[in-house]
Amino acid sequence: MKKETLIYCYGALQGVYWMHYGCIASFAAVFLLDQSFSSGGIGVLIALSSCLSVLFQPIIAAAADQGTQFSITQIFRILCLAAFAPLALLSFFDLPLAATALLYGMAVLFGLSMQPLLSALGMRRCSQGVSIFGILPTSSIEVTPVSRS
């Protein structure tokens, strides 16, 4: 694939990710208040999902680093589907409060867990010599030791 194509593909991935995140974050209060959640309940749900994503991200990173079963790209695709499926269910079905909380929390959890993989994909492109949004390829960076006198 040409370098320019890789840059546009990476930019598209970043754009879609941040649009997804923006929709999930900004629409949470409106959607969940309409589903009879309290303001405090919404805050707890978003905070809990965010904290769980912090615990989930190292597990995903370890799986991606091992590279035995899934590549970074495959894991990213799986997380995209995992984040989209709960939102699709919430869009088409009128669910009880607990199911709505679980599905919305899963969408937030999987959505937030995608971000480190995007960074890893960007760093992979840099190591392949592709300059991503002003980040220099690693092969062109010169490190000079600092002498301490």
Residue 128's φ and ψ, nearest 5 degrees, are -90, 5
**Mean per-residue pLDDT for 63-73?**
72
Please give the pLDDT value at position 148.
57
What is the DSSP code (8-state) at residue 68? S
Measured between alpha carbons, how far is 43 from 3 in angstroms, rounded to an integer? 42
Phi and psi angles of residue 38, each rounded to the nearest 5 degrees, phi first: -85, 165
Q: What proportion of the chain, given as a percentage, has pLDDT over 90?
A: 24
Show me where the domains of the chain are located.
Answer: 3-124
This prediction has a pTM of 0.76
The chain-wide mean pLDDT, for the chain, equals 80
**Number of C-beta neighbours around residue 136 at 10 A:** 11
pLDDT tens digits, residue range 109-139?
Answer: 998 888 888 887 777 777 767 666 655 555 5
Region label for 129, one of left (φ > 0), alpha (ψ between -120 and 50) or beta (otherwise):
left
